[in-house]
Amino acid sequence: MSVVNCQLFGMKIIKFTALWCADCIVMRPYWVEIASKYPDLEIIEIDFDDNPDLAEKHGVKKVPHTIILTDDETELHRLEGMQNKEDLMKLLEGYLKQ
């Protein structure tokens, strides 16, 4: 599990990924761009295979799986499977402008 950046926006992103997941690999540059554009946004990456208890706690059964939460752990949005960059950026920007 790695934390990319710190909290500022009142929300955080948890991404469940796996080394063998082709869609996770495709999406990795999207997350690098998001982290660069929003350096104070907390993005937590959790390896699905190494953390089965966390995956179960969050109801994650497959990867990639992204959960957008408030700082107090209230779920704002959940994305399952591959996402295109434009839709992902639009979704995040909508939450960040609130």
Domain boundaries, the chain: 2-93
Q: Judge whether residue 83 has pLDDT over 90.
A: yes
Assigned architecture for domain 2-93: 3-Layer(aba) Sandwich (3.40)
Q: Judge whether residue 7 has pLDDT over 90.
A: no
pLDDT tens for 18-59 read: 999 999 999 999 999 999 998 888 999 999 999 999 999 999
Residue 97, pLDDT score? 75
Q: Where are the beta strands (DSSP E) in the chain?
A: 2-4, 11-17, 42-47, 65-70, 75-80
> Closest Cα partner for 24 from 75, 77, 79?
79
Mean pLDDT across the chain: 89
CA distance 52 to 91: 27
Residue 98, pLDDT score? 61
